Structure 1
Amino acid sequence: MDVIVSRSGGLAGLRLTWHVRVDEQPDSADWYLLIEEIPWTAPPPVPPEPDRFVYRIRCEPHEATLAERQLTGPWRKLVDLVQERSEPERPGQRPTPTRRPTR
């Protein structure tokens, strides 16, 4: 299973994308539990805000787009974990492999 997080917006409007292959993670069971905990059909309600980041989170068969302030609870935990475990990709850049955690 892959988890892909894209962040766009902000003042510069740049898009960054992080990609993690869950099955390659040493703690993949914890990832699956976290993904199941996320309320995919009911993200927290927040009015749109200009010049703030927007996150698109994809994890087949799920997909959600959230404003920065909506990233709370398990949403925030998943995004932070994906960003910790992979390097960001910019448009036109070749994908980089998932980093392995050092423990």
Structure 2
Amino acid sequence: MKITVQRSGGIAAMTRVWIVDAVSSDEKERWVPIVEACPWDEAQAMDRTLNEPDRFMYSIRAGQRRATLPERAVTGPWQELVECAKAEGSESRGTRGGRR
């Protein structure tokens, strides 16, 4: 299972990406419960107008699941997933985004 956490926005409009490739059975055993604890269906129904200027937005992918969340919604299981990906994933810095 590939897990990708992308954080974009903020004052500097920088994008950062953390990627976890959980391929071994031990890695999957660790990551699957974290991923399954997240309320993916609720995230799909969340209003995208929750975006706030100069705040971060998170785009999270885990296998076939996808969610886009404003920073203030990254709580509970989402926060655990994001923090674990930041701590254990490989990081890359994306490009600086333009304001529109």
TM-score tier, shorter chain, comes to 0.7 to 0.9
Runs (4 or more) in structure 1 with deviation over 2 Å come to 23-28, 43-48
* Number of residue pairs aligned between Structure 1 and Structure 2: 92
1:31 to 2:34 alignment: no
Q: Which has the higher contact order (CA 8 A, sep 6+)?
A: 2
Q: CA–CA distance in 2 between the matches of 1:5 and 1:36? A: 15
- CA shift in 2, pair 1:42/1:49, >3 Å: same
Q: Give unmatched runs, 5+ long, in structure 1.
A: 93-103
Q: Give unmatched runs, 5+ long, in structure 2.
A: 96-100
> With structure 1 as the length reference, what TM-score do the two structures score?
0.78
- CA shift in 2, pair 1:63/1:9, >3 Å: same
Q: CA–CA distance in 2 between the matches of 1:54 and 1:25? A: 31
Output aligned runs, 1:1-103, within 5 Å: 1-24=1-24, 26-43=26-43, 47-91=50-94
What is the root-mean-square deviation of aligned Cα atoms in Å? Answer: 2.1
* Segment of structure 1 superposing worse, 83-92 or 64-73: 83-92
Structure having the higher helix fraction is 2
Letter in 2 for 1:84: A
State the identity %.
36
Shift of 1:85: 0.4
> With structure 2 as the length reference, what TM-score do the two structures score?
0.80
Q: CA–CA distance in 1 between the matches of 2:91 and 2:25? A: 17
Does the CA contact (< 8 Å) of 1:45 and 1:70 recur in 2? no
Structure having the higher strand fraction is 2
